[in-house]
Amino acid sequence: DAKTTQPTSMDCAEGRAANLPCNHSTISGNEYVYWYRQIHSQGPQYIIHGLKNNETNEMASLIITEDRKSSTLILPHATLRDTAVYYCIVRWAGSYQLTFGKGTKLSVIP
Amino acid sequence: DSGVTQTPKHLITATGQRVTLRCSPRSGDLSVYWYQQSLDQGLQFLIQYYNGEERAKGNILERFSAQQFPDLHSELNLSSLELGDSALYFCASSVSPDTEAFFGQGTRLTVV
């Protein structure tokens, strides 16, 4: 699976959009981009995933650049409950495992 | 609530002992995964089962073993425990190996 690079930490004001970047410059054509988050020591929570098109669900939007070398997770209206570590993971379609890096610690500030 | 149930939530045991962690996947999910999260190693994939068969192995020690039963629940057995095995152990499940996985709340194991 391709490697990802994320900022170590970010702050976001409550009510504003949180934009979390992820670089995956070595991604190949059959690798998906997944986002999970972990609130404190709870189990990781699935957020969204995509291959090449932008994706949106009730939690977030995923924007993938045309060359697929980077992506951005957007939380449209961040709340204090969105404070968590966010993991960007590139996963080959036939891979059974998720390889977690260190992620981005997002702090939502009142 | 992800629908994945792990028991027990907390476990304290002594070095050299053996413990069993249990996982009930979401209804309809055939794949079960085990992950370990320690302070210095982050989240590490251990092993994956699909419909009772082992499908993938990660950084799982020989002292650890797992299985998935016909009713699809899974158990992770940890033996000859060492202080360094203290960690959070997460189970996840998915419909199939190539779909998104949903995690349980974990078992916090403390070896003293």
Interatomic CA distance for residues B103 and B52, integer angstroms: 19
Interface probe, candidates B34, B43, B44, B89, chain A, greatest A C-beta count within 10 A: B43
- Report DSSP state, residue A5: B
Contacting B with CB below 8 Å, chain A residues are 34, 38, 41-46, 49, 87, 93-94, 96-102
Q: Inter-chain contact A97–B45, Cβ cutoff 8 Å? A: yes
- Give pLDDT, residue A1: 64
Find the CB nearest A96 among B56, B100, B106: B56
Under 8 Å CB-to-CB from A52, ≥6 apart: which residues? A64, A68
**Nearest CA distance, B43 vs chain A (angstrom):** 6
B76-112 tens-digit pLDDT: 999 999 999 999 999 999 998 788 999 999 999 999 9
Q: Inter-chain contact A45–B103, Cβ cutoff 8 Å? A: yes
Which of B76, B89, B74, B1 shows the shortest CA–CA distance to B31? B74
Interatomic CA distance for residues A65 and B3, integer angstroms: 33
Q: Inter-chain contact A97–B106, Cβ cutoff 8 Å? A: no
Which of B71, B64, B34 shows the shortest CA–CA distance to B49? B34
Interatomic CA distance for residues B100 and B92, integer angstroms: 10
Residues of chain A with pLDDT under 50: none
- Give pLDDT, residue B105: 97
Find the CB nearest A43 among B31, B48, B105: B105
Q: Number of Cβ pairs closer than 8 Å across A and B?
A: 52
DSSP per-residue string spanning chain B? --S-EEE-SEEEE-TT--EEEEEEPPTT--EEEEEEEETTTEEEEEEEEETTEEEEE-S--TTEEEEE-TTS-EEEEE-S--GGG-EEEEEEEESSTTS--EE---EEEEE-
Question: C-alpha distances in angstroms, B8 versus A42, A88, B60, B63, B89?
Answer: 14, 29, 20, 20, 11
pLDDT at B57 over 80: yes
- Give pLDDT, residue A51: 93
- Give pLDDT, residue B59: 86
Neighboring chain B residues of A101 at a CB cutoff of 8 Å: 42
**Which token pair is B92?**
């996840």
Interatomic CA distance for residues B4 and B106, integer angstroms: 10
Neighboring chain A residues of B98 at a CB cutoff of 8 Å: 93-94
Find the CB nearest B88 among A41, A49, A102: A41
- Give pLDDT, residue A95: 76
For residues B18-31, give the mean pLDDT: 97
For residues B64-87, give the mean pLDDT: 97
As a whole-number percent, the residues of chain B with pLDDT over 90 amount to 89
